Amino acid sequence: MLLLILLLLLLLLLLLLLLLLLLLLLLLLLLLLLLLLLLLLILLLLLFILLLLLLLLLLPLLLLLLLLLLLLLLILLLLLLLLLLLLLLLLLLLLLLLLLLQLLLLLLLLLLLLLLLLLLLLLLLLLLLLLLLLLLLLLLLLLPHEVSS
């Protein structure tokens, strides 16, 4: 019985470790995705700038100023988008951390419950042993009287 409970505890701990590893992998994947997105945005921005420069070489000065303003606006929008993505990632990380903390607390409660069960079983075993000893003593006390009678 004790061995079974210990095995269950070990299994629970292993499951928790696997869950932690899975969450870490998920976080790494999200970070990688964000980095790829960032690189893609930078590449798009560079491409857009190159196109604008090519156009600017062909167009007069007023159009050049207008295109520069548009470019600035685009850069600002991209920065805003990146900021929003980072905020979203931070929120996701916080949610995952909260979930992990909840799971840890739940596991701790389960462990405490299992320990209490173990203690209860041990106490029951002790009680049974004491009862057996008491019965044996009673039998030993009764036996000589049976012999003498």
d(CA 123, CA 117): 10
pLDDT of amino acid 70:
85
CB 71 within 8 Å of CB 54: no
Q: How far apart are the first and last CA of the chain?
A: 45
Give pLDDT, residue 54: 80
pLDDT tens column, 29-71? 999 999 999 999 999 999 988 887 887 777 777 776 777 888 8
Residue-range definition of the domain harbouring residue 121: 2-148
3 state SS of 149? coil
44 token code pair = 């798009």
Report CA-CA distances (Å) from 125 to 43, 68, 120, 130.
72, 85, 9, 9
pLDDT for the residue numbered 78:
87
Low-confidence ranges of the chain (pLDDT < 50): none
Please give the structure tokens belonging to residue 116. 């209490």
DSSP letters for 73-129: HHHHHHHHHHHHHHHHHHHHHHHHHHHHHHHHHHHHHHHHHHHHHHHHHHHHHHHHH
Q: What is the pLDDT of residue 148?
A: 62
Tally of domains in the chain: 1
Q: Is 98 exposed, middle or buried (0-12, 13-18, 19+ CB in 10 A)?
A: exposed
The pLDDT assigned to 146 comes to: 62
